[in-house]
Amino acid sequence: MTIKAGDKLPETTFTKPTEGGPEAVASADFFKGRKVALFSVPGAFTPTCSAKHLPGYVEKAEELKAKGIDEVVCTAVNDVFVMGAWGKSANATDKVTMLADGNGDFAQAVGLTMDGSKFGLGTRGQRFSMIVDDGVVSVLNVEAPGEFKVSSADHMLGQL
């Protein structure tokens, strides 16, 4: 079943790239007591994700925070090392927190997976964004296949 606005996020574990190496991040602890802008991309270093999606959130991070967002988070079904390298290459450090969903546990738990096998990607997370307030989804924006509109930083800014 797909998560919807008003639902509590399921408990899963992400992996965060840090200077000291990979760090496990429990979703319940991470989202507790904070307002988080989370967006999911089908894959790090993929065309739309690298040219538009992540750069938009890097560019708008301060505007999002000025409107009450405590942290901006990018997740993808990629390993923590790829997410770390992608974040560095996109100058996301200190603006967007990269959380790896290496096995796709989060994407599966929220019911937002996609089959990218046709492109050699296997099962991935769909392109979406959400505002999570104290562990509860207050806004959910899921893109139609091949689209990039409602999950953008600009769209989210208009929802705050």
CATH number for 146 = 3.40.30.10
Number of domains in the chain: 1
**Alpha helix locations (H) across the chain?**
27-31, 47-48, 54-66, 80-89, 105-109, 153-159
Catalytic-role residue among 9, 49, 73, 83: 49
Strand arrangement, sheet containing 35-41 = 23-26, 13-16, 97-100, 71-76, 35-41, 128-133, 136-142
Q: How far apart are CA 146 and CA 159, in angstroms?
A: 22
CA contacts within 13 A on the Cβ side of 133: 7
Residue 91 lies in a domain: yes
Provide the pLDDT confidence category of residue 1 given band limits of 50, 70 and 90. Answer: confident
Annotated catalytic, 49? yes
Residue 111 lies in a domain: yes
Residue 80 lies in a domain: yes
Model pTM score: 0.94
Residue 1 lies in a domain: no
Task: Calculate ∠ Cα 50-54-59, nearest 5°.
Answer: 120
Residue 126 CB contacts under 8 Å (≥ 6 apart), including other chains: 40, 42, 107, 112, 113, 114, 142, 143
Domain that holds residue 125: 13-159
pLDDT tens-digit readout, 16-51: 999 999 999 999 999 999 999 999 999 888 878 788
Residue 109 lies in a domain: yes
Residue 4 CB contacts under 8 Å (≥ 6 apart), including other chains: 137, 140
Cβ(54)–Cβ(74) under 8 Å? yes
Residue 155 lies in a domain: yes
pLDDT tens-digit readout, 122-155: 788 899 999 999 999 999 999 998 899 999 999 9
Residue 3 lies in a domain: no
